[in-house]
Chains A and B, each alone.
Chain A
Amino acid sequence: MALMNTLEVRDLSYSYPDGKPALRGVSMHAAGGECVGIVGPNGAGKSTLLLHLNGILPEDDSRQGEVVICGERITNSNLHEVHRMVGLLFQDPDDQLFCPTVSEDVAFGPAQFGFPAAEIDRIVRESLRQVGLEGFERRSPHHLSGGEKQRVCLAGILACNPSILVLDEPTSDLDPRGRRELARLIRGLPATRVIASHDLELVLDLCSRVYLLDGGEVVASGAAAEILSDEELMVAHGLEKPHSLQHRHPHT
């Protein structure tokens, strides 16, 4: 199927409740299984765009344009299916870990989708194993380290078995080891992935294509190495050329 796991945003505009425009005519797409990066300075509209991909922001007067998931346009009536197809990892793990224990949190999605209890248990165990946190079931989220929290969040999303994974600054709270492990994990996932990040090395490492967002608009898009190595463009939009693209000698 041509439309499997695809994502398309067509001419999306959105204003905040106070009338300030956040997105102006953004168009982007991701093919099935592709990993796409979204980069841009603070306040460029990255997080707002990601919220639209999951249908969190309602369809009303403040929003024009459309978001199409797996060939189906997001409307107010199919939000539930959209939530199931698109997994969204939020920037602050504490926003996402809202249950008293790790296992309840990972089970939240499957429970909402009405899976039987035995199946949920199996999914929770499998998802925790996938992120390398076996045996964390009974722990409370407030006793976890930043990296562990981020991985529990990811497990909670993997438990919903989404066809599209949307990640907002997945590495901002992590130490280098946590970052490396998360990158390895994300790379190994079969789902279509959209990653918004200031961690340009991560984007370069994982994403085949990137969109550069500034002031709510897509100012450039193309192959990751090509866009990120354009020093003038990057600096003009509050970013920088990643270190690994700075030198001509190979980094080993």
Chain B
Amino acid sequence: MRHEYIDRYARLDSPVHRLPPGLKLAIALALVISTVMVPISAIPYFAACALLLLIVIFLAHLPFRFVALRLLTLEPLAGGVGILALMQHDGLLMLIRILVKSNLCLLTMIVLSNTTPFDGILGVLRSLRVPQLLVTVLALMYRYVFLLIDQSERMTRARKSRTFAPRRGGRWKTAAGIVGQLFIRSTERAERIYAAMSARGWR
């Protein structure tokens, strides 16, 4: 199975990877917040941000292709909102604003998640006294998102192997079926995980 979509490069060894997770998290958050706050007319700021991220990507030995692909996968979200903004007065400016800001924020997060192992980030959250329940939920999410990806891949493969005459309508229907199945299986799994947690003293 391939488990490489989300944080494939998180455990590389580079100067960036060796930085303490807390520092990286703080810088990333500061970058995101300032990117959201700074007015779009501050072109030098955005250019500097992009340059900084590119330098970090280079120093961390992250392949540019991988980063670009990740960004592209997330683009429909940002792009969709941007296109909706076009309907408004001054829409073009709004579109540019949304695209620049969201792409910088997404890029920051992609770089963070691929230079910092997730348990490092969780450790920082714990030491910052983020409520234990929230940290546990994040940890569980991280643990099971891979399983969900695997499961949906297996189901898609099983569907493909039994599809003889592909029709567009049929494909949407089976896709909906797979999503429904995933939901049911996830609820059932959640119950079993809770049982397993209780069995080892969780309360």
A residues lining the B interface (CB < 8 Å): 51, 54, 56, 79-80, 83-84, 86-88, 90, 92, 94-101, 104, 108-109, 112-113, 141-143, 156-157, 160
Q: Which residue of A lies closest to B7 (CB)?
A: A140
A100 engages B199 (CB within 8 Å): no
Q: Give, as a whole number of angstroms, the nearest-CB distance from A18 to chain B.
A: 14
Residues of chain B lying within 8 A (CB to CB) of residue A90: 192, 195-196, 199
Which residue of chain A lies nearest to B146 when distances are taken between CB atoms in the complex? A142
A-B contact count (CB 8 A): 72
Q: How far is the CA of A92 from the CA of B122 in the complex (A)?
A: 25
Identify the 3 closest CB pairs spanning chains A and B, nearest first.
A112-B201, A109-B200, A95-B192
Residues of B within 8 A of A113 (CB): 201
Check if B119 sits within 8 Å of A98, measured CB to CB.
Answer: no
Main DSSP-derived SS at the B contact region: helix
Given contacts A51-B195, A92-B192, A100-B122, whether A83 and B200 have CB atoms under 8 Å apart is yes
Residue among A86, A100, A108 making CB contact with B119, cutoff 8 Å: A100
State which residues 140-163 of B face A: CB under 8 Å. 140, 142-144, 146-147
Cβ-based interface call for B193 (8 A): yes
For the A-B complex with A95-B189, A112-B200 known, give 15 more contacts whose Cβ atoms are closer than 8 Å: A56-B198, A83-B200, A88-B196, A90-B192, A90-B199, A92-B192, A95-B193, A100-B119, A100-B143, A101-B119, A104-B119, A108-B202, A109-B201, A113-B201, A142-B3
Q: Is B26 an interface residue (CB 8 A)?
A: no
Check A98–B143 contact: CB distance below 8 A.
yes
Given A100-B139, A104-B119, A142-B3, A83 contacting B199 (CB threshold 8 A): yes
**Do B3 and A143 touch across chains, with their CB atoms under 8 A apart?**
yes
Q: Judge if B129 is at the interface, Cβ distance under 8 Å.
A: no
Q: Is the CB of B203 within 8 A of A108?
A: no
* Size of interface on B: residues with Cβ below 8 Å to A: 23
- A-side contacts of B199, CB under 8 Å: 54, 56, 83, 86-88, 90
A96 in complex: contacting residue of B118, B142, B146, B196, CB < 8 Å: B196
CA distance A87 to B146 in the complex (A): 27
What chain B residues lie within 8 Å of A104 (beta carbons)? 119, 139
Whether B143 and A99, one on each chain, are in contact in the complex, defined by CB atoms closer than 8 angstroms, is yes
A104 to B136, CA, bound (A): 12
In the assembled complex, the Cα of A205 lies from the Cα of B142 at a distance in Å of: 39
Give the complex CA separation of A54 and B119 in angstroms. Answer: 30
Residue in chain B with minimal CB distance to A56: B195
CA distance A112 to B193 in the complex (A): 16
Whole-angstrom distance between the alpha carbons of A87 and B199 in the complex?
Answer: 7
User: Shortest distance in angstroms between B111's beta carbon and chain A's nearest beta carbon?
Assistant: 20
Check if B3 sits within 8 Å of A83, measured CB to CB: no
